[in-house]
Amino acid sequence: MHYVVGVDIGGTNIVVGTVAEDGSAVHGVRSAPTHAEEGPEAVLGRIARLVQVSMAEAEKAAGIPRRNIVGVGIGSPGPLDRKRGMVLLTPNLGWRDLPLRQLVSEAVGLPATLDNDANCAIYGEWWVGAARGTRYVVGLTIGTGIGGGIVLDGRIYHGTSDVAGEFGHTTIDSTGRLCKCGNYGCLEAYASGPAIAARAAEGIASGVDTRLPEMVGGDLSRLTAQTVYEAASGGDQYALEVVRDTAKFLGIGVGNIVNIFNPDLVVIVGGVTMAGDQLFTPLRSEVKRRAFKPAVERCRIVPGVLPGTAGVVGAAATFHHRVGDEP
């Protein structure tokens, strides 16, 4: 059996793993902080070391010989130029026109492919996760930002210049909240991790009754979406309200996806899925209210089932299933 090392580059962490060509196993999952502020060379060095460690661990723990590892699949924030293997621009990492595919390939001595991180995560869920066996799947990756991936007939849909799937920057409220991108009312401005925390903090500032300030020692700058989910799980009514509002906003975004793509499945990946049914029940209700019945009836809306590794598995899958525009 052949293996590929999947590399998932995020703003906070890099995660790698050695993935079987049939998706049946992931060995040597390792992660390290990205520390993008140290510059691309430092990050590349870290990626190369993590890849080596993962391959060594796969050999040690599962007896996978190095010669069976045939390549590296890289998932990176974009925008990218896949054909040239370039990262054009990543505000979070500070990269610009970086030939990432070639640099990683040279550093580890294996051929490599490059795709968008969100595409990889959704492709991973399609390959061996929550969207397995579906024909048309659209996914959202919710973290610091909101990314998206579109898999149609088992292939990632990239659009004409690899920018497709930017659901985080679709408008759901044209005169609404200011987004980091400079526009008003983007889905990301309501339902990304930082946006969830910001909305919660606004309510606290207006004097609502909640345990949230106590949970962060009175320092609201430490408030995260995770704090909100934990408080909601503990029965904090205000935190529950913030989760329900999040569900409503995501429901509007997913409702748009359902009316546009009429997919078999929408998969939601990222920390927000920790909120569980408290999120998914009102989210599905909002979609049902907003989208067309014959589309809603055919669409399941589910959390991802590969937390932490969807991006790694999907990045490896893009190498396994490469179709020719990469070397």
Interface residues toward its own copies, by CB under 8 A:
79, 88, 135-136, 148, 150, 152, 157-167, 169-176, 183, 185, 248-249, 252, 255-256, 259-264, 289-292, 294-295, 297-299
Q: How many CB atoms lie within 10 A of CB 39?
A: 12
For the bound state, the minimum distance from the C-beta of residue 202 to its own copies, rounded and expressed in Å, comes to: 17
Query: Kind of pairing, strands 112-116 and 69-76?
Result: parallel
Q: Which is nearer to its own copies, 19 or 252 (CB)?
A: 252
What single-letter amino acid sits at 306?
Answer: L
Q: Which is nearer to its own copies, 3 or 190 (CB)?
A: 190
- Whole-number Å distance between alpha carbons of 200 and 294: 35
For the bound state, the minimum distance from the C-beta of residue 194 to its own copies, rounded and expressed in Å, comes to: 20
For the bound state, the minimum distance from the C-beta of residue 114 to its own copies, rounded and expressed in Å, comes to: 15
Q: Which is nearer to its own copies, 35 or 292 (CB)?
A: 292
Q: Which is nearer to its own copies, 10 or 165 (CB)?
A: 165
For the bound state, the minimum distance from the C-beta of residue 220 to its own copies, rounded and expressed in Å, comes to: 26
- Whole-number Å distance between alpha carbons of 294 and 320: 35
DSSP 16-70: EEEEETTSS-EEEEEEEE--GGG-HHHHHHHHHHHHHHHHHHHHHHH---GGGEE
What single-letter amino acid sits at 280?
Answer: F
For the bound state, the minimum distance from the C-beta of residue 174 to its own copies, rounded and expressed in Å, comes to: 5
For the bound state, the minimum distance from the C-beta of residue 180 to its own copies, rounded and expressed in Å, comes to: 13
Q: Which is nearer to its own copies, 91 or 308 (CB)?
A: 91
User: CA 70, 75, 81, 82: dihedral to nearest 10 degrees?
Assistant: 30
Q: Which is nearer to its own copies, 175 or 206 (CB)?
A: 175
- Contacts for 211 with CB less than 8 Å, ≥ 6 apart: 231, 234, 236, 239
For the bound state, the minimum distance from the C-beta of residue 19 to its own copies, rounded and expressed in Å, comes to: 27
DSSP-assigned letter for residue 75: E
Q: Which is nearer to its own copies, 41 or 153 (CB)?
A: 153
Q: Which two tokens stand for residue 294?
A: 């014959």
The vertex-155 CA angle with 149 and 159, nearest 5°, equals 60
- Whole-number Å distance between alpha carbons of 230 and 322: 40
